[in-house]
Chains A and B, each alone.
Chain A
Amino acid sequence: NAGVMQNPRHLVRRRGQEARLRCSPVKGHSHVYWYRQLPEEGLKFMVYLQKENIIDESGMPKERFSAEFPKEGPSILRIQQVVRGDSAAYFCASFRGGVQETQYFGPGTRLLVL
């Protein structure tokens, strides 16, 4: 996974609480992607960010979900008022940029909503 860090690795929340997932990309990478993996399914694209900008959020639910990648610090995926259907593994991928480069995936955060 080439140095992409995600924390926490496991997160338990009760319905209605907020979940904050953090992703620290590979040093020098300024692009971050978030993917969601529902149980027994493949990964689905959620959002693509470059430093301080959201480039593509076509895969992110319009309500309760938000993402940011500030100039300093990790990228944050925030889920407000979580529901049981939000239980999933959330993967972050880091990318340097350029068509010849590829993404490096983090270990994922497993969110369980009780």
Chain B
Amino acid sequence: AQKVTQAQTEISVVEKEDVTLDCVYETRDTTYYLFWYKQPPSGELVFLIRRNSFDEQNEISGRYSWNFQKSTSSFNFTITASQVVDSAVYFCALSRGDNFNKFYFGSGTKLNVKP
């Protein structure tokens, strides 16, 4: 069975602090995809990253970086020098590498960045 766990329900930081959002997943598949989405207060889902199970290289995009470690089944997301606009709910998700492509979402981490 597929499962995604985001143990941090809510995190509060002060602007310019770095923050890491944890994501742990469970799957028996050898091929799968991991995602992060941002859901701002307006409610839409904003795609941040997609990573396949064969690519363990860390990725950096501006102030965002992702650490994928298969050994610990984790796909953590770090925001460097956080800003108030980063305040949102962040979801980690897993999809199987098959034609069904169904997404399994974590419960989300609400990030509050205070000025």
Point out residues on A near B: beta carbons under 8 Å.
1, 31, 33, 35, 41-45, 48, 55-56, 89, 91, 93, 95, 97-99, 101-105, 107-108, 110
Complex Cα distance A33/B95, Å? Answer: 13
Q: Which of B42-50, B65-73, B78-86 contacts A (4 or more CB under 8 A)?
A: B42-50
Q: Which of B77-106 touch A at CB < 8 Å? A: 91, 93, 95, 97-106
| Complex: chain A residue closest to B50, CB-CB | A102
Report chain A residues within 8 Å CB of B4.
Answer: 42
User: What are 13 residue pairs bridging A and B, where the CB atoms are less than 8 Å apart in the complex?
Assistant: A1-B44, A33-B102, A33-B103, A42-B6, A42-B108, A43-B91, A55-B100, A91-B45, A99-B99, A102-B50, A105-B47, A108-B43, A108-B45
State which of A1, A95, A110 has its C-beta within 8 Å of the C-beta of B45. A1
Interface size class of B (residues with CB under 8 A): 20 to 34
Bound form: Cα–Cα A107–B47 in Å: 12
Which residue of B44, B97, B101 is within 8 Å of A95 (Cβ)?
Answer: B101
| Interface core residue of B95, B100, B103 (most chain A CB under 10 Å) | B103
Give the CA-CA distance A17 to B111 in the complex, in Å. 36
B106 to chain A, nearest CB (A): 6
Q: A42-B108, A102-B50 are in contact. Are A107 and B43 (CB under 8 A)?
A: yes
> If the complex has contacts A89-B43, A108-B44, are A103 and B108 also in contact, measured as CB distance less than 8 A?
no
Q: Please tell me if the beta carbons of A99 and B105 are within 8 angstroms of each other in the complex.
A: no
| 8 Å CB contact of A42 from B97, B98, B107 | B107
Closest A residue to B97 by beta carbon equals A99
Residues of chain B lying within 8 A (CB to CB) of residue A45: 102-104
Question: Hey, what's the 0/1 contact readout for B32-52 against A, CB within 8 Å counting as 1?
Answer: 010101000001110100100
Closest 5 CB pairs of A and B: A42-B105, A105-B45, A43-B105, A42-B107, A107-B44
Nearest Cβ on chain A to B64's Cβ, whole angstroms: 18
Set of chain B residues within 8 Å of A43, measured between Cβ atoms: 45, 91, 93, 103, 105
Please give the distance in Å from B104's CB to the nearest CB on chain A.
7
Measured in the bound complex, the distance between the Cα atoms of B70 and A33 in whole Å is 28
Bound-state Cα–Cα, A89 to B43, Å: 9
